[in-house]
Chains A and B, each alone.
Chain A
């Protein structure tokens, strides 16, 4: 297992490198530049800007300098659009917000989704199954850009219980709507995957044997069915976790949380190469890391899969 982990880590480095270079090249092929503005910038001003941000250098040199700064100094450079903020500043400010509501959304999605899925499978074709499936379908057809305004209309405008936007680490009232908006569709997917996987597991031979041996139902489900049934859920959770903790643009924009998702989209629109690269590297690293974690958890759950 350790060898496997080391191997995977060794592959991760060139993967990241390819990601960085490909992203860098793609960004520079996009029309419009970071300093393209409504007030056309005179050529001498544009030359000053390009010189300051190193855009007057050949592309290979820009990539090499960038990589050196990232690897040797962990410096992602200055933001091209936020003139007095570095990329490190922007990530340091936005990522904790995203991480907080993303992590809470993940917990909520897993707890509710797995509970709904398991309940629906155990009580197949009962009203509980229909209810769980109904909730899942309902949650799936309500994407977060629909969910967010509905939540604000209900909890802010009608009930006056929660603030309509903003963010505070100290006040959980600010967390509730972002978490609901972000977790709902994931929760629905988890519930559906859990239900079908659980149904499949419950009809397998080892469960039949356990039943024949007269084991109590609770024990069969918790000890023998749940673990293998969760395998497909876990493979879904890896990327889901990454996309939740790396933020949702809709949630950031609608609730003005100040999270990193909005910064990512803004950086693309502003052609802020530095912020775009910084967040791409962050997302890339997290994706690789959590896929690795998923593989390890797989091995822990099902020894047959160990490497």
Chain B
């Protein structure tokens, strides 16, 4: 061991990165590493917080999962792997989980204990914290979460407790089969109680911030960059190869592409429609892995929606008439797939059920659509007029124009309504003031219920106010089923029959990744990546 250290020190003195390679179990033997182990990552939006209990965005999660370690992480394929939890037991009624924690230290040298989880989860639910993601702990079914968030019970009554420093016990209100999958999100990470209490909201400033993950905060300049550097106090620091991470926020993809081409970024999402060209120009760098999000048009069947959409025949006709292949192949051109069911096709342990209209040709779908619309009583004498609502974005506009043309073939006249983001959200979820609205959903965890729950009558996301008792029952039953897949299949079939929304395409992530960067998990549909598993090879 001593000799390895000596060789390492000698080689480092020579400016070679080879010793890192020798020490990291994640780098294949014989790999020549780059001297500079920096990974510069593009983010669409500026990060709004570095506090795990307050974070609400995917970009936030990307950064926080480099700085913190929760109970579980995902491997390259999206499967659950232990992080701080080395093992667990679950009670027979599947309502009590007992996690055994690894010996780990915060970057200030303090031990990470089960109490840090208890503190973080109570803080997440505490009304005084006012976390916009506190609903997540309710979604996890942690006992009393709803009452704690509503202020009807004290945070100390939340169903989480530390049995000792390294044993965490969680009690659920009702069993859910995917509970452990949910523990990957940054909202469930531990936070250092002592530091948070000492500095308040300033605890995430670079000079104060204490973390338990492989990287610690170096700087955070709003609108400019977030820089992380390797945390030597991390228990597995010897196997961490990338030394520095930079996150650069840039709203404009074209500008980000220019910076990638200038060698200033290692990762960028390609601008819409440019993926085929970039794949030709950068065959080693261009990828389009599946991303667990689905794009759809939601029909308003609630009191504010038009009478016509309350008729399932009309909804089906409108959905059938959408030529998803044209949207995917001619407009988006980035590896997306047409969607006829709501749950993303690559979701873990989920197989999209066969729905009749998916197997038809587009001509057959269009013929059927015309027939259905006629049956519903709409035609030249009684034309159907609809509004299509979308938020400001070139892609949404292009898709809306295409859909408008598809519906025109049915004799449906539609007008486009473009709103600024917050106004759009207000109309969609607040006032339910729309006929048809573009919507999308990205998985919170890698399991089908994250999609299907959205359509339950009690969901806050059910902006079209569709209600179906059978569907609700299936989703309720799925929570306690030994194998919920059967319920999910039935639920998807109800969606295809009742068509409260028209799924349009399943996302991919068309991207350019510097070919020198290795270890990016292309097969992880939630695109949860951990820089500690990645490395940069020499040119």
Contact = CB atoms under 8 A, between A and B. Distances in A.
Interface in A154-184: 156-157, 160, 163-167
Contacts of B262: 152, 156-157, 160, 163-164
Nearest to A35: B132
Contacts of A73: none
Interface in B436-474: 460-461, 463
B86 to A, nearest CB: 31
Contact of A40 (B248, B422, B463): B463
Given A52-B128, A52-B130, A269 B420 contact: yes
Interface in A76-114: 78, 81-86, 90, 93-94, 97
B150 interface: yes
B258 interface: yes
B184 to A, nearest CB: 17
B222 A84 contact: no
Contacts of B224: 97, 166-167, 256-258
A262 B4 CA distance: 50
Interface stretch (A41-49, A122-130, A186-194): A41-49
Contacts of A134: none
A32 B258 contact: no
Interface string B365-382: 000000000000000000
Contacts of B307: none
Interface stretch (B48-56, B332-340, B526-534): B48-56
Nearest to A46: B132
Given A40-B461, A258-B223, A84 B135 contact: no
B326 interface: no
A93 B221 CA distance: 7
A93 B132 contact: no
Interface in A254-273: 254, 256-259, 262-263, 266, 269-271
Interface stretch (B168-176, B294-302, B423-431): B423-431
A53 B151 CA distance: 17
Interface centre among A36, A53, A78, A270 (most CB of B within 10 A): A36
A94 B222 contact: yes
B425 A51 contact: no
Interface in B218-235: 221-225
Contacts of A32: 420-423, 425-426
A210 B452 CA distance: 87
Interface in A13-55: 30-33, 35-42, 44-45, 47-49, 51-53
A252 B223 contact: yes
Nearest to B461: A40
Contacts of A44: 127, 146, 149-151
Interface size class of B (residues with CB under 8 A): 35 or more
B261 A157 contact: yes
Nearest to B127: A48
A49 B463 contact: no
B135 A256 contact: no
Contact of B264 (A33, A37, A149, A163): A163
A256 B225 contact: yes
Interface string B114-140: 000000000000011111101100100
Contacts of B250: 165, 253, 256
B222 A83 contact: no
Nearest to B250: A256
Given A164-B258, A266-B46, A271-B422, A37 B127 contact: no
A163 B259 CA distance: 9
Interface in A217-246: none
A153 interface: yes
B392 to A, nearest CB: 10
Contacts of B132: 35, 37, 41, 45, 49
A60 to B, nearest CB: 23
Interface centre among B46, B51, B149 (most CB of A within 10 A): B46
A32 B433 CA distance: 13
Contact of B423 (A31, A35, A160): A31
B201 interface: yes
B420 A48 contact: no
Contact of B255 (A47, A90, A94, A149): A149
B202 interface: yes
Interface string B39-75: 0000000101111001010000000000000000000
Contacts of B426: 31-33, 36
A42 B223 contact: no
Contact of B223 (A36, A84, A149, A257): A257
Given A257-B223, A269-B420, A271-B422, A84 B49 contact: yes
A153 B134 CA distance: 45
A83 B54 contact: yes
Contact of A253 (B128, B252, B264, B422): B252
Contacts of A49: 130, 132
Contacts of A41: 132, 135, 460
Interface in A273-300: none
B249 A256 contact: yes
Contacts of A83: 48-49, 51, 54, 201
A45 B146 CA distance: 10
A157 B261 CA distance: 7
A36 B258 contact: no
A31 B225 contact: no
Contact of B202 (A84, A93, A165, A269): A84
Contacts of A156: 258, 262
B134 A45 contact: yes
Contacts of A157: 258, 261-262
Contact of A84 (B46, B51, B134, B151): B51
A257 B250 CA distance: 11
Interface centre among B135, B204, B223, B262 (most CB of A within 10 A): B223
Contacts of A253: 250-252
A291 B249 CA distance: 35
A255 to B, nearest CB: 9
B223 A48 contact: no
Contact of A165 (B46, B259, B420): B259
B366 to A, nearest CB: 32
B120 to A, nearest CB: 15
A52 B134 CA distance: 14
Nearest to B264: A164
B222 A258 contact: yes
Interface in B176-210: 201-204
A258 B221 CA distance: 7
Contacts of B127: 44, 47-48, 51
Nearest to A86: B201
B421 A269 contact: yes
Contacts of B202: 84
A256 B42 CA distance: 12
A81 B250 CA distance: 17
Interface string B484-522: 000000000000000000000000000000000000000
A51 B56 contact: no
B261 A45 contact: no
A166 B149 CA distance: 40
A247 to B, nearest CB: 10
5 contacts: A32-B426, A45-B134, A84-B203, A256-B248, A262-B223
Given A32-B421, A51-B130, A84-B54, 10 more contacts: A32-B426, A33-B422, A37-B56, A37-B425, A39-B56, A42-B138, A45-B135, A53-B130, A253-B250, A256-B250
- Listed from nearest, the 9 A-B pairs whose CB atoms lie closest are A32-B422, A258-B224, A52-B130, A40-B460, A83-B49, A83-B54, A44-B150, A40-B429, A48-B127
